[in-house]
Amino acid sequence: MKILDRLRQRRQELLARIGLIEEMRRGSVTRQFLKVRLKSRPEPVLSGPYALFSCKRGGKTVGRRLRDPEEVRRLEQQVENYHAFQGLCRQLVEISEQICEQKDKEQPR
């Protein structure tokens, strides 16, 4: 198989993988601990963890606390899908550049 054919096949595989990603979301899911002062203790104690989703909207960071464990799992998966999408897009650009370079080599001058 020619180099160009292999590159085109790899490009199609990447596009197919991108097409399988249905849910994705920019942002992050983190765990937050809060310091709580108790009357019975001289030092504050940590309370938590609390799951927090945050992202940028309109140039500002917005966040919301996640209470439902299923919602936490779902948003973590959506954020992970977004990062996978970004990686696949980088690979797609690299393959496309290789296709351009290979075409330049194969064209008679």
Residues 12-21 pLDDT 10s = 999 999 999 9
Q: Which residue segment(s) compose the domain that 59 sits in? A: 3-106
Check residue 109 and give its pLDDT. Answer: 64
Asked if residue 26 lies in contact with residue 78, where contact means CB atoms within 8 angstroms, the answer is no
Q: Cite the beta strand spans of the chain per DSSP E.
A: 28-36, 45-57, 60-66
Tokens of 94: 């690299």
The model carries a pTM of 0.84
Report the number of distinct structural domains present in the chain.
1
Residues 52-107 pLDDT 10s = 999 999 999 999 999 999 999 999 999 999 999 999 999 999 999 999 999 998 88
Check residue 105 and give its pLDDT. Answer: 86
